[in-house]
Structure 1
């Protein structure tokens, strides 16, 4: 399974797109902004 770091500041959009990506077989690591995303990536 491939993992995607998904950064989106709009929670509704993050939830909707996250569900679509999970249905396509991806594992997600989600962040609400770039700063948090960078911390999760390192």
Structure 2
């Protein structure tokens, strides 16, 4: 009973970590795009 509950919690935490990781990756990609744009604007000066 407790081992099954522990596995269930572990699976939920893994899914949560995957969701957070996916959100972080998409956020980082968007930020990289913005950073590259601002860097090119900086190079123009």
TM over 0.5: no
Q: TM-score, normalised by structure 1?
A: 0.37
Name the structure with the higher strand share: 1
Larger radius of gyration: 2
Larger relative contact order (CA 8 Å, sep ≥ 6): 1
Name the structure with the higher helix share: 2
Q: TM-score, normalised by structure 2?
A: 0.35
